[in-house]
């Protein structure tokens, strides 16, 4: 499996030599400065490639695009979408012309990953990302004041949410909004509470089936181009895998993944298998999902979570949460062997250590939430150890 690392470009506090020191060789990045829906030109792509390859001794290459974002209008299905589809196809062609052929994207409405606490304490003084169900309910019901929101939360969660809100200062409320808006680092849009209400209103007629239809339309529009230019598309699961703020989520369960790979039957239409996102689902059997959909996995995010009965969860150590990481890694290595034995040229599955704890000198540095250096370095080292052991025991190619 190709060891990769998410890098947010020249402004990232983590530098390219640090990534080489961590043992990764593939860079996962995007052109975050380009607004959603605007074509990525060859010039901009080559500029980023040149930044990554500026020091050949580092041995780094741009391996995966994360993300080529899908414009919100495509998710909603509103207006004349052909210019947006065409810009997306042009960006795909330009990436392929520059030798970058693996695209991770998501179809989460409005928000990407969502947490309520970006610095939850872990034993020994580290910090992790956490989703507290009662704080999310307090935001939904009492800060955002979404009509009918109380019906979406369990009574015991609502009681804790009300107690939190009654004690919260204005600073506490602003911090919670900021944490929820942190989302995917590099996301182009941020909202205050009124702006978020307006954005949610655009989705008032979008239910689960309608959102599925809009995703299927997107796939029909772009997968033929992917096949034409040799690109693989890898959709990222919802994070967390449940409806949020009244918005439907359609990349959350085994049934959802089956729908997606069946919507357009093509080797180019595949998955980013994120063990943390899927692992936050109370009923998801992540190792079983890995086995079922292994042939469709074009990219993997390997991280772990520890869940609470009320729907809260926190980022755990990469080998320390609810997900059986050894089982998932074994499945991916077995799939690699199948691809190699079948003569596939691109048989290695790129993966990256996803969200890590802030540890040691990470604490206080201006890194993106969830993306510190040392926490991910630890995660990559742990996963590399699992890979090496499984490969040795089962005779599987790394």
Region of residue 200 (phi > 0: left; psi between -120 and 50: alpha; otherwise: beta): alpha
> What are the angstrom distances between the C-alpha of 172 and each of 135, 144, 165, 196?
11, 14, 9, 18
Omega of the bond leading into 83 within 30 degrees of 0 (cis): no
Asked if 34 and 187 count as a contact pair (C-beta separation under 8 A), the reply is no
What is the spatial distance between Cα 139 and Cα 117, in angstroms, rounded to a whole number? 12
Phi, psi (degrees; rounded to nearest 5) at 359: -130, 150
The DSSP annotation for 299-361 comes to EEEE-EEEE-TTS-EEEE-TTTSSS-HHHHHHHHHHHHHHHHHTT-SS-PPEEEE-S--B-GG
What is the spatial distance between Cα 307 and Cα 132, in angstroms, rounded to a whole number? 10
> What are the angstrom distances between the C-alpha of 126 and each of 143, 319, 370?
29, 16, 12
Reduced to 3 states (helix: H, G, I; strand: E, B; else coil), residue 205 is coil
Phi, psi (degrees; rounded to nearest 5) at 301: -110, 120
Which residues are catalytic, by number? 236, 274, 301, 354-355, 371
What is the spatial distance between Cα 50 and Cα 29, in angstroms, rounded to a whole number? 13
In the chain, the largest separation of any two C-alpha atoms, in whole Å, equals 62
Asked if 310 and 157 count as a contact pair (C-beta separation under 8 A), the reply is yes
For residue 76, what is the enclosing H or E element? helix 72-76
Supply the Cα-derived Rg of the chain in whole angstroms.
20
């Amino acid at each position: 499996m190709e060891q990769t690392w998410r890098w947010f470009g020249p402004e990232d506090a983590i530098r390219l030599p640090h990534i080489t020191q961590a043992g990764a060789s593939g860079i996962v990045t995007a052109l975050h400065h380009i607004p959603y829906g605007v074509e990525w030109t060859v010039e901009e792509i080559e500029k980023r490639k040149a930044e990554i390859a500026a020091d050949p001794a580092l041995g780094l290459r741009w391996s995966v695009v994360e993300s080529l974002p899908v414009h919100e209008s495509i998710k909603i299905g509103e207006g004349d979408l052909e210019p947006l589809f065409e810009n997306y196809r042009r960006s795909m062609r330009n990436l392929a012309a520059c030798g970058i052929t693996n695209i991770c994207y998501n179809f989460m409405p409005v928000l990407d990953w969502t947490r309520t606490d970006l610095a939850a304490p872990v034993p020994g003084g580290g910090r992790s990302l956490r989703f507290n169900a009662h704080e999310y309910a307090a935001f939904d019901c009492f800060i955002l004041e979404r009509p009918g929101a109380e019906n979406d939360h369990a009574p015991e969660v609502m009681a804790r949410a009300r107690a939190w809100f009654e004690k919260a200062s204005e600073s506490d409320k602003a911090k919670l909004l900021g944490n929820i808006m942190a989302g995917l680092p590099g996301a182009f849009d941020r909202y205050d509470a009124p702006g978020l209400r307006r954005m949610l209103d655009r989705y008032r007629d979008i239910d689960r089936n309608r959102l599925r239809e809009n995703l299927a339309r997107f796939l029909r529009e772009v997968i033929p181009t992917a096949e034409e230019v040799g690109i693989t598309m890898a959709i990222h699961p919802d994070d967390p895998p449940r409806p949020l703020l009244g918005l439907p989520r359609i990349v959350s369960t085994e049934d959802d993944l089956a729908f997606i790979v069946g919507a357009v039957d093509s080797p180019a239409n595949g998955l980013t298998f994120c063990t943390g996102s899927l692992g936050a689902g109370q009923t998801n059997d992540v190792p079983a999902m890995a086995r079922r959909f292994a042939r469709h996995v074009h990219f993997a995010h390997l991280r772990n979570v520890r869940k609470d009965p009320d729907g809260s969860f926190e980022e755990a150590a990469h080998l320390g949460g609810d997900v059986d990481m050894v089982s998932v890694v074994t499945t991916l290595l077995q799939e690699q062997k199948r691809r190699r034995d079948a003569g596939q040229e691109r048989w290695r599955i790129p993966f990256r250590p996803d969200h890590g704890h802030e540890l040691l000198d990470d604490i206080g540095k201006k890194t993106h939430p969830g993306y510190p250096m040392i926490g991910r370095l630890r995660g990559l080292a742990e996963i590399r150890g699992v890979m090496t052991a499984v490969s040795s025991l089962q005779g599987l190619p790394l």
